[in-house]
Structure formats: C-alpha cells, structure tokens
Amino acid sequence: MLDDRKLAVLRAIVEDYVSTNEPVGSKALAERHNLKVSPATIRNDMAALEEEGYIAQPHTSAGRVPTDKGYRLFVDRLSQVKPLSSAERRAIETFLAGAVDLDDVVMRTVRLLAQLTRQVAVVQYPTLTRSTVRHVELVPLNDRRVMLVLITNTGRVEQRVIELPEVVDETRIAHLRAVLNSCLDGCGLSTVPELVSDLPERLPAEDRPAAATILSVLLETLVERHDEKIVFAGAANLAGADFSTGLRDVLEALEEQVVLMRLLGETSSDTPSALTVRIGSENPYLRGTSVVATGYGSGDNQLARLGVLGPTRMDYPVTMGAVRAVARYVSQILAAS
C-alpha cells in the first residue's frame, strides 16, 4: 500500500512542515528534496497518503500538513533519535554537576531541558516508593509539639509538625527516635507500614499515645506524597507556538499536578527507560499537544519521569534526543549522590 517512495514523501512533508510551519506543496517538495520524480508523481503519492489519513490539507487547494497519524508513523518508522552535539553534552554535564541538593537537581534539570528543547519541560520529583529510609529525626519544638523529619536515600526530606496528645519530655522523644531509626534505617519506604505496625506494643505503655500519633503522621506522609510533586519550566516557549486547544488550557494544565501526571504517563513496566511519545489526540486531557517523556533513575529502579510538552508540530528526533540525554545524566547524578 505504502511503498518506499510514499514513505519518503511523508518524511519530507513532516520535515518541511516542522521547519517552515507552512503547508507544503508538491512542487516545493520536488525541489527541496531530491526525490528524482516530478511534482505530478508526488501529487499522486500525496493523494494516496491523504486517503490513508497520514496527511491532510487545511483547505482545498492548499499544501498538505501531517496528521497525528502521520507524525506517529514518522516517529515510529521514519526517523532516528538525534544525538546531542558534544558541546551540548558538556553543557549538560557542567550545569547539572553544580547542584547542591535534590531541589536544586530537579530545578536545574527542568530548566536545562526547557532550554535545550525550546519547549515546556516537566520533571516529576523522585518517587518515595522505591527509596529507602536514611534517617528519621524527631525534633522537640516545645513540650507538646515535635517536628518529624524523614530523610531518604535520594536526598529527599519530608517534614511535618506534630501536635502531641500529651506532654512528653525530651528524653522520651530521644528514645522514640532511637527506636524508630533502629527499626527503619535502610528499609524501603513501602515496607515501613508493616515494620512499624507492632511498634507501640514494644514500648512502655506511657509512650504509646505519643508514638501512635507520630506513627500515624509518618504513614500519612508516605501515602500522601505517593503521587508526586511535579515542576515545569519554559512556559515562555509556548508564547510563539499555536495550540488548537488554546494557550490558556495548556497553561492551566501545567499548573494542575494531576493532569500533568497523566500527561507524563506511567513508566511501562516492561521497558522502563524507553522514550514515550504521545502525539496530539493520543494524549488524555490535552489533545493538540505532544508529549515526549521517559523514566529516569539508576538502572532497574526507576524513580520518576521527565519530559517535554509542546505543539504536535515539533522536531521529534531532536526533542527525543534531548530528553533521553538529560534523563541519562540526571540518573547518573542521582545514583552518585
């Protein structure tokens, strides 16, 4: 149905349209790419491609524009991920290396990605699920309040102020802290609930009410942040582009954690580090935009996802290259720390 030449025509259409933002006609195609055939032949091929739904014309007698289906075929079969230049690689490396803490890593990553792709970059904070407890700290604030600080091996810090049901003196708090740490240190977060389930019973009766309160907050912290914080950057890059769905909707989606989460998608369990590309109508909630995303994290333990969001008319090979490269570098950084 679609011979090699027709595919070549489709590729040429996508490339030209992405770079010029104008419907591309048969004559221009024949000139710019050396397809060795006449415009008339190309017109026939285009008619076939349109018949199959890969391209469309905005109006009768205008050039052709790729459809979502056309872009899909392009990324699946007609293009290769474009690696970054060595200058870009160096820039990434030095830029990410300067990070001082987890917040900083995430911040730098998202900005870097936005700048590199000239799209909106989105980065999900490393998930707690696979992390392990590095330390639990209880800081007495006054005799009725303590602050709970949970530090994970990814450098993440969670904090909560806890109102205790009764006055508890500092030495007992310290004891509780010691017990908690000996019990949880190094354990996976997902195992915490079972590990602490029988903890109150092992304590002197007088400590149990306070311990119960603290534990409930601890558990709450774990589940509450299960669906994670997401940050974005590069909204300015939206200013030029045009979205079928209107700029406003896109900006709103960016500030809705839940929607953003859905857009980034789930790491598919079989090939966790694969690039995911969702084109236009393939996206939930936000049709008219494309999302290029991937999981990151060292090796088999995928921490979270990152990617970019832009108009369907984007340079997929370059964008995919940038996303993949940044994901690798940030994985590396996180693994090292």
> Interface with its own copies by CB under 8 A: which residues?
100-102, 111, 134-135, 137, 139, 141, 147, 149, 151, 155, 157, 159-161, 224, 233-236, 238-240, 246-249, 251-252, 254-255, 337
Spatial contact of 210 and 166, defined as CB atoms under 8 Å apart: yes
C-beta of 263: minimal distance to its own copies in Å? 16
β-bridge partners, 121:
233, 308
Helix H segments across the chain?
Answer: 4-20, 26-32, 39-51, 68-73, 86-97, 102-117, 170-184, 192-197, 208-224, 247-255, 257-264, 316-336
Out of DNA, its own copies, none, which partner does residue 260 contact, by CB within 5 to 8 A per kind?
Answer: none
Q: Classify the phi-psi angles of 163: left when phi > 0, otherwise alpha if psi is within -120 to 50, otherwise beta.
A: beta
- Is the CB of 72 or the CB of 225 nearer to its own copies? 225
C-beta of 32: minimal distance to DNA in Å? 11
- Is the CB of 75 or the CB of 254 nearer to its own copies? 254
- Is the CB of 97 or the CB of 161 nearer to its own copies? 161
**Owner of token pair 């500030």:** 255
Could you say which of 9, 18, 24, 211 contacts DNA (CB under 7 A)? 24
- Strands laid side by side in the 157-163 sheet: 133-142, 145-152, 157-163
Out of its own copies, DNA, none, which partner does residue 39 contact, by CB within 5 to 8 A per kind?
Answer: DNA
What is the contact mask toward DNA in residues 61 to 80, using x (rule: CB under 7 A)?
A: xxxx----------------
Instruction: Tell me 82's DSSP state.
Output: P
Site for DNA in 34-63 (CB under 7 A): 36-41, 43-44, 46-47, 50, 57, 59-63
- Is the CB of 38 or the CB of 216 nearer to DNA? 38
Q: Read off the amino acid at residue 31.
A: E
Instruction: Check binding of 33 to DNA (CB under 7 A).
Output: no
Pick from 132, 207, 197: nearest CA to 177: 207
> CA–CA distance from 283 to each of 94, 242, 321 (Å)?
34, 17, 21
Q: For residues 7 and 3, give the distance between their C-alpha atoms in angstroms, rounded to a whole number.
A: 7
C-beta of 102: minimal distance to its own copies in Å? 8
- Is the CB of 56 or the CB of 151 nearer to its own copies? 151
C-beta of 36: minimal distance to DNA in Å? 7
Spatial contact of 123 and 297, defined as CB atoms under 8 Å apart: no
Judged by the rule CB under 7 A, the positions of this chain that interact with DNA are: 5, 23-28, 36-41, 43-44, 46-47, 50, 57, 59-64
